């Protein structure tokens, strides 16, 4: 019996030592561990306050897909970053964003606007007083808090503007927050094509409206015309 206990304790100790919990990292601004991105063969669990960590890094195995800095830094340290194609981690450098002219001299990029979460940050471009970049565009997944400047730094070249809900970068011809020169096409791109979405440009092109709004405005216009003619 004593020997069996020794064997069981030895096996338990080996199991515990084999587990390699990751380091706590920032995934978002709320500490929501369901939004940290890929966990490969492991899982994300709560770490330090408002941070998350990989439960067991020893479970990581190829193939690696949809990787972000979050998982790389949790298991490999703060100098690890997701590869540009998100197929693994690299210890060289982050996927730095494109240059955006959004600061005045010595402003430290404070004029560049918000970022999707605390995982992202602006930094001055090298030897430049007016341009900034997002330090790592693959810092973490995001589904809110997107701005035009963020899209210009991290979005594809065909998607330089934030949609009206600030959830993604889209291929609008101009900012989705503008108040002039709207077209039906841009309204659909910025607001979506759901039945109740504001997917039509108003007559004066100053805003996007729903189909119902358009019918109401047309009806009101007809009434005004009739009143003028009376």
Q: What is the DSSP letter of 111?
A: T
Per-residue pLDDT at 80:
96
* Residue 23 token pair: 């380091």
Per-residue pLDDT at 148:
98
Per-residue pLDDT at 119:
95
Q: What is the DSSP letter of 173?
A: S
Q: What share of the chain is helix, strand, coil (3-state, %, to 5)?
A: 30, 10, 60
* Residue 144 token pair: 């809110």
pLDDT above 70 for 222? no
Q: What's the whole-number mean pLDDT along residues 217-225?
A: 54
Q: Which of 121, 102, 101, 125 is nearest to 112 (CA)?
A: 102
Q: Which of 189, 182, 181, 185 is nearest to 208 (CA)?
A: 182
Q: Would you say 42 and 55 are in contact if contact means Cβ atoms under 8 Å apart?
A: yes
Per-residue pLDDT at 58:
95
pLDDT above 70 for 9? no
Q: pTM of the full predicted structure?
A: 0.82
Q: Give the pLDDT confidence of 10-44 residue by residue, as tens digits.
A: 333 333 346 899 999 999 999 999 999 999 999 99
Q: Give the pLDDT confidence of 113-168 residue by residue, as tens digits.
A: 999 999 999 999 876 778 999 999 999 999 999 999 999 999 999 999 999 999 99
pLDDT above 60 for 6? no
Q: Give the pLDDT confidence of 158-194 residue by residue, as tens digits.
A: 999 999 999 999 999 999 999 999 999 999 999 998 8
Q: Which comes out higher in pLDDT, residue 18 or 86?
A: 86
Q: Which of 198, 228, 194, 226 is nearest to 214 (CA)?
A: 198
Residues 6+ apart with CB under 8 A from 70: 25, 26, 27, 36, 37, 52, 119, 139, 140
Q: To the nearest 10°, the Cα dihedral for 171, 176, 178, 184? A: 70
| The Cα angle at residue 160 between residues 157 and 161, in degrees rounded to 5 | 165
């Amino acid at each position: 019996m004593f020997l069996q206990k020794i064997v069981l304790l030895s096996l338990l100790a080996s199991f515990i030592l084999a587990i390699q919990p990751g380091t706590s990292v920032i995934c978002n601004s709320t500490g929501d561990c369901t939004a940290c991105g890929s966990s490969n063969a492991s899982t994300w669990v709560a770490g330090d306050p408002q941070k998350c960590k990989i439960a067991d890094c020893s479970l990581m195995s190829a193939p690696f897909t949809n990787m972000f800095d979050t998982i790389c830094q949790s298991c490999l340290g703060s100098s690890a970053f997701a590869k540009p194609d998100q197929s693994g981690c690299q210890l060289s450098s982050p996927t730095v964003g494109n240059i955006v002219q959004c600061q005045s001299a010595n402003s430290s990029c404070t004029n560049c606007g918000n970022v999707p979460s605390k995982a992202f940050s602006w930094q001055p471009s090298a030897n430049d007083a007016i341009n900034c970049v997002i330090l790592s565009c693959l810092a973490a997944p995001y589904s809110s808090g997107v701005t035009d400047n963020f899209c210009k730094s991290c979005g594809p070249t065909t998607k330089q503007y934030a949609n009206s809900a600030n959830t993604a970068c889209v291929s609008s011809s101009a900012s989705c927050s503008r108040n002039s020169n709207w077209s039906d096409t841009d309204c659909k791109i910025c607001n979506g094509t759901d039945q109740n979405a504001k997917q039509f440009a108003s007559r004066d092109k100053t805003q996007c409206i729903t189909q119902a709004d358009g019918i109401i405005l047309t009806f009101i216009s007809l009434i005004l015309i009739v009143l003028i003619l009376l």
